[in-house]
């Protein structure tokens, strides 16, 4: 089972059933990614940082319910000030995304999944960056 680090926007896409600017439904791809994890196709890694960012967009009960379904197929990675400092060195323009990269590396993720590959591709990492639709 590949270990996938999940970026915040993937969860928001799923909960809000968002479309991209071209009208493509991103929520469907994100939902399928979670469904595949429940069916043992992937192992999902999420972070305290992602949860913090997520709380600005969704109510806490939705977060709890979402991760309860995939509880045995997920793991959580925490961040500290050293991780934040490393992220700032990786990217002055996108430190929030760089922190996701630092945490993905810290948790030995095999793939980072995000809807926003543009910013992530500007941050140096050995971990491949993929959109959810590329993984389903």
> How far apart are the C-alpha atoms of 70 and 76, rounded to whole Å?
12
pLDDT score, position 108: 97
Topology of domain 3-134 in CATH is Rossmann fold (3.40.50)
* 3 CB-contact burial (10 Å; exposed 0-12 / middle 13-18 / buried 19+): middle
pLDDT score, position 126: 94
The domain ranges of the chain are 3-134
Q: Does residue 61 register a pLDDT over 80?
A: no
Per DSSP, the three-state class of 77 is strand
Q: Tell me what the mean pLDDT of segment 73-78 comes to.
A: 87
pLDDT score, position 69: 65
Q: Does residue 48 register a pLDDT over 90?
A: no
Give 28-46 pLDDT, tens digit per residue: 999 898 888 888 888 899 8
Model confidence at 104, pLDDT cuts 50, 70, 90, reads very high
Among left, alpha and beta (phi > 0; psi -120 to 50; other), residue 118 is alpha
């Amino acid at each position: 089972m590949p270990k996938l680090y999940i970026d915040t926007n993937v969860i928001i896409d799923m909960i809000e059933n968002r479309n991209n600017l071209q009208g493509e439904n991103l929520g469907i791809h994100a939902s399928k990614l979670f469904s595949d994890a429940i069916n043992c196709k992937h192992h999902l890694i999420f972070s305290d940082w992602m949860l913090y960012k997520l709380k600005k967009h969704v109510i806490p009960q939705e977060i709890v319910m979402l991760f309860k379904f995939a509880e045995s197929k997920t793991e959580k990675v925490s961040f500290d000030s050293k991780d934040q400092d490393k992220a700032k060195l990786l990217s002055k323009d996108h430190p929030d995304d760089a922190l996701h990269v630092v945490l993905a590396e810290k948790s030995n993720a095999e793939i980072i999944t995000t809807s926003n590959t543009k910013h992530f591709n500007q941050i140096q990492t050995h971990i491949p960056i993929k959109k959810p639709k590329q993984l389903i």
